[in-house]
Amino acid sequence: MTESDGLTPAQRLGTSDPGMLRAGIVTVYELETLYACVAYENQHEQRVPVLRRLARRASEVREGKEK
């Protein structure tokens, strides 16, 4: 686990429900956690839309934007 909320990348991304995926991504506030999620997604599902959303969230975190 990489974030204080205790969710693993599998818990954040291990669903096909779009709402749950979105919630799992937008509640990440640390780049380390995002990198772990990208690694998980690349090893498991390799869903391009999810990887794009993770990249977008990483940009937001780097820029200091919270959603």
Vertex 22: Cα angle to 57 and 27 (nearest 5): 60
Model pLDDT for residues 9-67, shown as the tens digit of each residue? 999 999 999 999 999 999 999 999 999 999 999 999 999 999 999 999 999 999 997 65
Vertex 45: Cα angle to 13 and 29 (nearest 5): 30
pLDDT of the residue at 66? 64
Q: Band of the pLDDT at 5, cuts 50, 70, 90? A: confident
Residue 45 CB contacts under 8 Å (≥ 6 apart), including other chains: 13
Domain ranges in the chain are: 9-63
